[in-house]
Structure 1
Amino acid sequence: MADYHYREGRGADATAPLFFVFHGTGGDESQFFDLAGELLPGARVIAPRGDVSEGGALRYFRRTGEGVYDMDDLRLRTAKMIELVTARKAEGSARAVVGLGYSNGANILASVQFAAPELFDATVLMHPLIPFTPPKADFSGKRVLITAGRRDPIGPAAVTQALSDYFARRGADTTLFWHQGGHELRPEELQEAQRFLKPVGA
């Protein structure tokens, strides 16, 4: 069993959507917990805490520099996260499994999708950076929203566009939403996430 520490919402119906939320570097399991309840009311929220420390800032996998990932560590921790998601999914009969991640959280979520495309029905990747070529996978019937800033110094626009194109080519119903800022989260992208997730809670 994966030994991630995570925060969990209580009281959701057994068939309620299962909503995993992944924080950014320096955040923790509370960063998006309340937001998750606003974006998808009634969902069972699971918020894992990253278990890698980078100068005291929590992350989900190691890197050797800005945008330079320790790929062996990423593979290890991706497998560990798949184990966590699979175990929580098996506890009930959720009608949908949904993920949302920001920055480093978006990157671990995307990596899980690459390795296990069947796990998530819909995902929101906010300001992801995937500086490697993802593997071949089939995302038919899946929905993906990517949000990003056109002036993001961490996630170059061309790399973000390439990730969106990857999901679309692989069969996902893909939406790419831009704002005019940088790496910060803006209200308009959260509103877009809420619109994207609305059908899941219907």
Structure 2
Amino acid sequence: MNIQPNMQPDKNAYHHYAKPAAPGAPLVFAFHGTGGDERQLSGLVAQIVPGAGIVAPRGDVSEHGAARFFRRTGEGVYDMQDLAARTQKMIGFIRAHRAASPGSEVYGIGYSNGANILASVLFAAPELFDRAVLMHPLIPFEPAPQPGLSSVAVLVTAGRRDPICPAPQTEQLESWLAAQGAAVETHWHEGGHEMREPEIMAATRFLSA
């Protein structure tokens, strides 16, 4: 995937929910799953990172009325040119909000399609995040090497029986992240694509470390 130079930073590139951080609290970007919106994870973030600033964009791609962050042509088949363009746009959005919160720790959390756009941003611009939680990501391609990930801590959560994000591809992503030098952890549950309480607890521990 060829990521072009970043777009001009734009805080309003996406319709989004925003909440200012309490003094000394981190800024958390939250990315919803297919069919979700900017509120899907905002309550969860407020619960697991009390006082955090929150920026939660709404995906601007419609798939039969369901909001997504990039196009696909089938289950697990990504429009790679569109993914590259949407990643560039998201990088500009994140940079603009980071600039408005200088000095803050910056975290990212995404579920499903939201985890995929967050991962794609990490592949291209890892310096934007200190920590990232990828909940049920699916990366059906091998990213280019990214040594900048050595400064990022990443938690991957997954279901061993997930029909959308097969376990072997999650393991490949974990191995790739580790090979880039990222401090990577993986939390598994025995279910499918649903979010479960133990992985929310794992995210809480990870983001409060």
Q: Give the TM-score, by structure 1 length.
A: 0.95
1:99 to 101, 108, 113: 108
**Alignment-mate amino acid for residue 133 of structure 1:** E
| Structure 2 stretches lacking a partner, 5+ long | 1-9
1:191 corresponds to: 201
Q: Partner of 2:88 in structure 1?
A: 79
Distance 2:76 2:110 in 1: 17
Asked if 2 retains the 8 angstrom alpha-carbon contact of 1:167 and 1:174, the reply is yes
After the TM superposition, list the runs of 4 or more consecutive aligned residues in structure 1 that deviate by more than 6 angstroms. Answer: none
Inter-partner Cα distance in structure 1 for 2:99 and 2:161: 41
SS in structure 2 at match of 1:159: helix
What fraction of aligned residue pairs are identical, expressed as a percent? 57
- Show the counterpart of 1:153: 163
The amino acid that maps onto 1:68 is V
Q: Give unmatched runs, 5+ long, in structure 1.
A: none
1:19-71 Cα offsets, whole Å, 9 max, x none, are: 00000000000001011011111111000000000000000000000000000
Shift of 1:94: 3.6
Give me the whole-angstrom Cα distance separating, in 2, the residues matched to 1:78 and 1:157.
25
Correspondent of 1:165 among 146, 171, 175: 175
1:171 is matched by which residue type in structure 2?
G
Tell me which of 71, 75, 78 is aligned to 1:69: 78
Q: Aligned pair count?
A: 198
Please report how far the alpha carbon of residue 11 of structure 1 lies from its aligned counterpart in structure 2 after TM superposition.
Answer: 5.4
Query: What TM-score do the two structures reach when normalised by structure 2?
Result: 0.92
- Cα deviation, residue 16, structure 1: 2.6
